[in-house]
Amino acid sequence: MSAIIMDGKALGLKIRESVKLQAAGLKEKGIVPCLAVVLVGEDPASLSYVKSKEKALTEAGMESRDIRLPESTSEEKLLSIIEELNKDNKVHGILVQSPVPKHIDEEKVIAAVTPTKDVDCFHPVSVGNMILERQGFLPCTPHGVLKLLREYKIQIAGAHVVIVGRSNIVGKPLANLLIRKEYNATVTLCHTGTKDLKSHTLQADILISAVGRPNLIKPDMVKEGAVVIDVGINRVTDTSTSKGYKVCGDVDPAVAEKCGFFTPVPGGVGPMTIAMLLQNVIEAALKRRVYE
Ligand code: NDP
């Protein structure tokens, strides 16, 4: 069996084209959608994430307010910068790239971003609104996964979705969105406390891995014909590349021989995350999703 590749890059580009048109429409009204992208320190992976976000913003005709701060930045200083951005009417969204250096309390940083500009949907108020199905932004990666499932007309209602990973940014919000009536999935959420992971993953009509472990999901853990979504982004050493590493997901590539649909890494969920972030900045500029 040869699986269908779910092309997140192509769908992401389509969404970005639509975002570009919306941004142009806003510009005609004198509003330039603007995201402030704050990076503290020089973690190479974080730097590459923020660069691709900034590039995508510029390409969509939006403003990227790039704020680079040294590793030594104090928590107080970072919180005061966020407070200024909260007050700045020209800034519609604020993104603080995670992780922040160890001496800074990430929870405080997340709570400092006003929910009306919280385009990542990390603030406890944003998360509460999302769970209670009130107005508010949808979290980018989970929203991107749902868009991909819809694009490929995957039957979600009544499906058994097994998610591996319960982080605040992927697993938990994704499970909460999938149990909404509009999706109607039955969800199992697995983590390090799960006994016999394989016995759960084998039951999945839709299997989503968001762990951060290369090759965690092997072919014998996947039901024949299942939909496999690989959220994982892992850097593994590869001396044959100029960078000395390559990027792979959580899913063993051999799974493609067995499943019905799968997302590649790179080119699957990653580009969808960026596209949904841009869409959230538009929503913020339009004040459409804002709960006040
Ligand atoms: P976290 O490290 O926050 O969470 C990982 C989760 O996986 C935890 O819930 C952990 O369980 C669980 N886990 C770890 N090992 C196992 C195991 N052996 N069996 C079952 N569960 C396990 O990661 P994130 O959610 O932030 O990210 C996950 C991956 O997704 C990473 O590779 C990250 O780079 C990628 N990512 C990709 C995005 C994209 O746009 N494609 C966006 C965001 C993340 P426990 O809670 O018990 O510790």
* The amino acid at 8: G
Give me the residues paired with residue 159 across strands.
none
Whole-number pLDDT of residue 92? 97
HEC states along 116-182?
A: HHCCCCCCHHHHHHHHCCCCCCCCHHHHHHHHHHHHCCCCCCCCEEEEECCCCCCHHHHHHHHCCCC
What is the DSSP pairing of strand 160-164 with strand 245-248?
unpaired
Going 23 to 27 to 29 to 33, the CA torsion angle's sign is positive
Mapped onto helix, strand or coil, the DSSP state of residue 71 is coil
Q: What percent of the chain has pLDDT over 90?
A: 97
Whole-number pLDDT of residue 165? 98
Residue 121 CB partners (closer than 8 Å, separation 6+)? 127, 130, 136, 137, 138, 139, 140, 173, 280
Whole-number pLDDT of residue 49? 93
Mean predicted lDDT score pLDDT of the chain: 96
Whole-number pLDDT of residue 279? 98
Cβ(263) to ligand 1 under 6 A? no
pLDDT score of 1 more than 80? no
Whole-number pLDDT of residue 287? 86
Cα–Cα distance list, 277 to 141, 174, 205 (Å): 9, 16, 28
Rg (CA), the chain: 19
Of all protein residues, the one whose alpha carbon is nearest to atom 41 of ligand 1 is: 270
Q: How confident is the model at residue 2 (pLDDT cuts 50, 70, 90)?
A: confident
Cβ pair 47, 39 in contact under 8 A: yes
85/200 Cα distance (integer angstroms)? 44
Distance 148 CA to ligand 1 centre (A): 20
Q: In the annotation, is 220 catalytic?
A: no
pLDDT score of 76 more than 70? yes
Test site for ligand 1: of 106, 192, 215, 217, most ligand atoms within 8 A of the Cβ: 192
Catalytic choice (53, 172, 223, 258): 53
Cβ(12) to ligand 1 under 6 A? no
pLDDT digit string (tens) for 205-263?
999 999 999 999 999 999 999 999 999 999 999 999 999 999 999 999 999 999 999 99
Residue spans of alpha helices (H) in the chain? 8-28, 44-59, 75-87, 106-112, 124-131, 140-151, 171-178, 197-201, 269-286
pLDDT score of 292 more than 70? no
Q: Which ligand 1 atom is the nearest neighbour of the CA of 265?
A: 41
Cβ(273) to ligand 1 under 6 A? yes
pLDDT score of 290 more than 80? no
* The amino acid at 241: T
Whole-number pLDDT of residue 72? 98
Distance 239 CA to ligand 1 centre (A): 25
Q: What percent of the chain has pLDDT over 70?
A: 98
233 CB-side CA count, 13 A: 13
* The amino acid at 202: L
pLDDT digit string (tens) for 139-193?
999 999 999 999 999 999 999 999 999 999 999 999 999 999 999 999 999 999 9
Q: Which ligand 1 atom is the nearest neighbour of the CA of 272?
A: 40
Angle at 27 between CA 151 and CA 286, to 5 degrees: 60
Distance 114 CA to ligand 1 centre (A): 26
Distance 14 CA to ligand 1 centre (A): 27
Cβ(229) to ligand 1 under 6 A? no
Give backbone dihedrals phi and psi of 267, rounded to 5 degrees, phi first.
100, 10
Instruction: Tell me the pTM.
Output: 0.97
Q: Could you give the angle at which helices 44-59 and 8-28 cross, rounded to 10 degrees?
A: 50
Distance 137 CA to ligand 1 centre (A): 22
Whole-number pLDDT of residue 264? 98
Residue 224 CB partners (closer than 8 Å, separation 6+)? 1, 258, 259
